[in-house]
């Protein structure tokens, strides 16, 4: 190759920000359904996008138990699971509607708040106070009373679950 020839080098994409969602926090929600994101969970990149999904809590038999917060990477992994599922299968179709029809892409506003849609808040019973629950690579946004009820409902599972690790 001559010295006049430019060489094109493709750099790999920058790795996604590795966020870890730990601990639990309670914050007030304002009348516009905005709630502060825990400081420890805030991404460095102001354009970082989260996926929020209305999620059931089976142990308490709640149709809409809480809002599951996922990074885009985690949401892509969830979406990839559907590639192996049968198209036209009633269960798969119902699950697609339940997840993707109740999912919203969002990023924090300039004041580091989640701006939650009123319909999403109403579905999980969010009113004045919000409970954030860290789950490692994902998190939950709960009505505090519902969270406490759900923890009680799943406490028998938790004891056995520690055997998984």
Fold of the CATH domain 24-160: Chemotaxis protein chec (3.40.1550)
**Residue 152: half-sphere exposure toward Cβ, Cα within 13 Å:** 6
C-beta separation of 35 from 29 below 8 A: yes
Domain regions of the chain by residue span: 24-160
Q: What is the pTM of this model?
A: 0.87
**Which of 25-29, 34-38, 157-161 has the lowest average pLDDT?**
157-161
C-beta separation of 121 from 130 below 8 A: no
Average pLDDT of the chain is 90
Task: Count H helices and E strands in the chain, helices first.
Answer: 4, 8
- What's the CA gap between 27 and 24, in Å, rounded? 10
- 64: confidence class by pLDDT, cuts 50, 70, 90: confident
């Amino acid at each position: 190759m001559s010295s006049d020839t430019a060489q094109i080098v493709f750099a790999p994409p920058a790795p996604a920000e590795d966020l870890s969602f730990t601990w639990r926090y309670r914050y007030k929600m304002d009348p516009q359904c905005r709630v502060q994101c825990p400081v420890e969970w805030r991404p460095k990149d102001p354009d970082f996008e989260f996926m929020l999904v209305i999620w059931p809590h089976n142990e308490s038999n709640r149709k809409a138990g809480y809002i599951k917060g996922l990074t885009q990477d985690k949401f892509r992994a969830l979406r990839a699971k559907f590639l192996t599922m049968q198209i036209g299968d009633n269960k798969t179709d119902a699950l697609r509607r339940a997840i993707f029809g109740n999912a919203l892409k969002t990023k924090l506003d300039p004041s580091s708040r989640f701006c939650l849609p009123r319909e999403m808040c109403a579905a999980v019973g969010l009113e004045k106070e919000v409970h954030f629950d860290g789950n490692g690579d994902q998190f939950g946004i709960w009505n505090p009373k519902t969270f406490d009820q759900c923890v009680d409902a799943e406490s028998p599972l938790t004891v056995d679950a520690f055997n998984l690790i």
